[in-house]
Structure 1
């Protein structure tokens, strides 16, 4: 009973925060105010605090622009986590647009939706990503293309770095800064997260979103570490596969070190 009362209070509080920030964000999007970039961080910080996700950032986002953050992808919680530590926009598959609640929130954050099966539209979206990067926005890319179990990094898809190539062509100096990021779910209730609780960290696609969200709300005390690596410069003449391997190695190294408690 106590757990259900807590869940009700969390959802009610989150609804109140959303009610307060929503009109401002809608107006900011409608008039393309720069404010639209900052409001989502307030919401994500409140959501993390209410849900019980404690975020520890190690390092910080690169100050140079244009900046593309390349991160491992464990769960829908990653959106809250990264959104709480930086003013970012996300690249997401088109299906996310239709998700209940999360789809609406994604649209309010000006997420870039990509239809990977339609090559013509994908090309248009790559150009949009390039424009957004050139405009100074921090864009988050999950180069695995899907979620993992949180214990490892899946193979990085080099094709997803086409956005960096597109943005590099639009910049005056022909450079896009890529910063590897590792998200590691490391603790629960103040203790190291063991094998029993690992399913709470990862969200494989075959687990219903609702039941996974409910499990997180019931626990209410998850710790996550976010490591920001050294930037990697993508130039007009860079080899996309070589850059993707370099990014993959950096994320894998940070993730492995953090999960081992080093």
Structure 2
């Protein structure tokens, strides 16, 4: 573990005992979640499964020592596309804790140790970017979720960042919301440690999952600000490029505190 942390090139936290305590608790919580998926979920309705995923996500964040500060008003009912900047693997669980959401994510995430299983369990829609029809297939899956009145989550940067700024958005998957006529709500995520921006908590670059867990689970005073911005009605941005541009501008301004 120490070599993995050293390779990350970041400063180590000062609470190794706290890391160990949280790691044991989180590991047990993860095993409970996987067991629930295998044993309990087959007998439950989709609605009940989604309720459990939401509660489990809130529990995971609590055990990780992550406090979520919600700002703004999320769309809690009916179909909606939540569009957010991407900082860490915990982003999915932060948003799931507010409203259980089906996320669109690159298929590589499915192969991540443990995390891949968890995000799959949380209802993630995986997209294989090597496929010519990837966007079309993902769009169909998104429209199915919209028809059920569900929320779909999208990280249109296509990768994680340190959270200081927002990369350009890929506009392709915005088309599903335009075609379905559902609103798009921009969401800005900001990671703080003791009230200050904390780029060291981002899961970015060549950092390993082990190193990221070390920084996250060994830290005190971690807060994720989850800022829900004004929804954009489908009729206000009938072209996917315009919708992506407006969502990007809103999130970037909130992330940068403008």
Which TM-score band (shorter chain)?
0.7 to 0.9
Residue 139 of structure 1: CA displacement? 0.9
Who is 2:161 aligned against?
148
Q: Does 1:129 align with 2:129?
A: no
Deviations 1:168-192 (A, max 9, x none): 1xxxxxx211000000113x2x342
Query: Of the candidates 185, 192, 201, which is equivalent to residue 179 of structure 1?
Result: 185
Query: Of the candidates 8, 17, 20, which is equivalent to residue 5 of structure 1?
Result: 17
Deviations 1:109-130 (A, max 9, x none): 1210001220224322210111
Q: How does 1:1-262 map to 2 (within 5 A)?
A: 3-26=15-38, 27-28=40-41, 32-166=45-179, 168=180, 175-186=181-192, 188=193, 190-193=194-197, 197-200=198-201, 202-235=202-235, 238-257=238-257
Residue 232 of structure 1: CA displacement? 0.6
RMSD: 2.3
* Distance in structure 2 (CA, Å) of the matches to 1:112 and 1:28: 18
Q: Name the stretch that deviates more: 154-163 or 31-40.
A: 31-40
Deviations 1:176-220 (A, max 9, x none): 11000000113x2x3423xxx4222x2223222221111211114
Kindly indicate whether the alpha-carbon contact (under 8 Å) linking 2:139 and 2:173 is maintained by their aligned counterparts in 1: no
Provide TM-score, normalisation by structure 2: 0.85
Question: Which is bigger in relative contact order (C-alpha 8 A, separation at least 6)?
Answer: 2
Residue 235 of structure 1: CA displacement? 4.2
Q: Name the stretch that deviates more: 175-184 or 16-25.
A: 16-25
Residue 102 of structure 1: CA displacement? 0.5
Kindly indicate whether the alpha-carbon contact (under 8 Å) linking 1:18 and 1:43 is maintained by their aligned counterparts in 2: no
* Distance in structure 1 (CA, Å) of the matches to 2:110 and 2:215: 23
Distance 1:126 1:13, change over 3 A: same
* Distance in structure 1 (CA, Å) of the matches to 2:144 and 2:37: 21
Q: Give the secondary structure class of the aligned counterpart of 1:89.
A: strand
* Distance in structure 2 (CA, Å) of the matches to 1:121 and 1:98: 18
Residue 236 of structure 1: CA displacement? 11
Provide TM-score, normalisation by structure 1: 0.84
* Distance in structure 2 (CA, Å) of the matches to 1:236 and 1:229: 15
Distance 1:256 1:103, change over 3 A: same
What are structure 1's unaligned runs of at least 5 residues? Answer: 169-174
* Distance in structure 1 (CA, Å) of the matches to 2:131 and 2:236: 25
* Distance in structure 2 (CA, Å) of the matches to 1:75 and 1:31: 30
* Distance in structure 1 (CA, Å) of the matches to 2:33 and 2:90: 20
Q: Name the stretch that deviates more: 81-90 or 235-244.
A: 235-244
Who is 1:171 aligned against?
none
How many residue pairs align between the two structures? 244
Kindly indicate whether the alpha-carbon contact (under 8 Å) linking 2:68 and 2:94 is maintained by their aligned counterparts in 1: yes
* Distance in structure 2 (CA, Å) of the matches to 1:59 and 1:31: 32
Q: Give the secondary structure class of the aligned counterpart of 1:219.
A: coil
* Distance in structure 1 (CA, Å) of the matches to 2:211 and 2:125: 26
* Distance in structure 1 (CA, Å) of the matches to 2:150 and 2:41: 15
Q: Give the secondary structure class of the aligned counterpart of 2:256.
A: helix
